[in-house]
């Protein structure tokens, strides 16, 4: 894939089932666990949410509900990717079998509250190790992605730590 220029617009999708949320571990920068997410690339926020959910998990959203939106200073691997205007949706209904993307997804799981909390604590611990407040998303993302210990056993990607905390952990 040729290097793309960041459009500064991203979506994330919260999928729930039996008291758990669907999370992925990213294969590419930024390192860590996250909800299925990605750039708009010319689509509307809702179209991008449907596309990214299908690409990263194999499931199709039948109905999306808007949860929240915010501009955050979080880097991505694309050129000029220093901030993003985010919109996060909940897949109110979906169908299909989970099939993680070979290119983008290292692992995928249904995470219950204890697992979500523990991944959040891991993010907080690494932030403290690097002496970076958890609110400094850009610095944290860069530091974590350069840390071999984080690479082998990550917590939540900083932007998803922020969003999930605001959503009371899903």
Give me the pLDDT at residue 170, please. 63
Condensed to tens digits (0 to 9), the pLDDT of residues 36-69 reads: 999 999 999 999 999 999 999 999 999 999 999 9
Dist. CA 134–CA 96, nearest whole Å: 35
Dist. CA 90–CA 153, nearest whole Å: 27
Condensed to tens digits (0 to 9), the pLDDT of residues 65-84 reads: 999 999 999 898 899 999 99
């Amino acid at each position: 894939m040729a290097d793309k220029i960041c459009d500064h617009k991203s979506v994330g999708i919260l999928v729930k089932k039996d008291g758990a949320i669907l999370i992925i571990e990213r294969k590419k920068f930024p390192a860590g666990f996250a909800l299925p997410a990605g750039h708009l690339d010319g689509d509307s926020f809702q179209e991008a949410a449907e596309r990214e959910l299908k690409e990263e998990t194999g499931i199709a959203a039948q109905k999306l509900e808007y949860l929240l939106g915010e501009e955050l200073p979080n880097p991505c691997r694309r050129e000029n990717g220093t901030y993003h205007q985010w919109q996060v949706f909940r897949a109110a209904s979906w169908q299909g079998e989970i099939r993680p993307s070979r290119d983008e997804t290292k692992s995928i799981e249904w995470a219950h509250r204890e697992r979500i909390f523990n991944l959040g604590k891991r993010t907080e611990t690494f932030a403290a190790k690097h002496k970076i407040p958890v609110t400094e998303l850009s610095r944290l993302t860069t530091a974590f992605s350069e840390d071999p210990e984080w690479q082998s056993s990550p917590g939540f990607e900083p932007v998803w730590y922020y969003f999930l905390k605001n959503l009371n952990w899903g």
